[in-house]
Amino acid sequence: MAIDTTHNSANHVYLAFHFASDISSVSQLTRLKHLLADTFGEEEFSEIMVDLDLTKEVIFKVNVPMIMSPAIRREFFIKLLRVFNATSQFTPHFTQVNTPKR
């Protein structure tokens, strides 16, 4: 069975993370980017918003493959679970991003 892993604008999730004020936000952001690259692949996520000064929040957009099988869906959610478990100190959660309408 062929699996279509192309992406469109509706095939992504937004993940938000909050850094503690008593740690180096820049080093934690670097660590987080490495984790996402190792987990999903460098081309499968992008940094949407970073506010290391005021809210100490960062939001990433993670591409979701156009899932054609239960195995691919399961693999994606296992990867999300690994990221959430590895970053529990950053209060990881799904979020929404308001984008302007065209």
Query: What are 4-48's pLDDT values in tens digits?
Result: 344 444 689 999 999 877 667 788 889 999 999 999 999 999 999
Q: What is the pTM of this model?
A: 0.80
Q: What is the pLDDT of residues 38-67, one digit of tens each?
A: 999 999 999 998 887 888 889 999 999 876
C-alpha to C-alpha distance for 39 and 19, rounded to whole angstroms: 20
Q: How far out from the chain centre does Cα 28 lie?
A: 14
Using CA atoms, how far apart are residues 49 and 57, in angstroms rounded to an integer?
8
CA torsion sign for 99, 20, 94, 75 is positive
Task: Report whether 4 contacts 11 (CB < 8 A).
Answer: no
| From the candidate CATH numbers 1.10.3470, 3.30.70, 3.90.920, 3.30.2320, the one assigned to the domain spanning 12-94 | 3.30.70
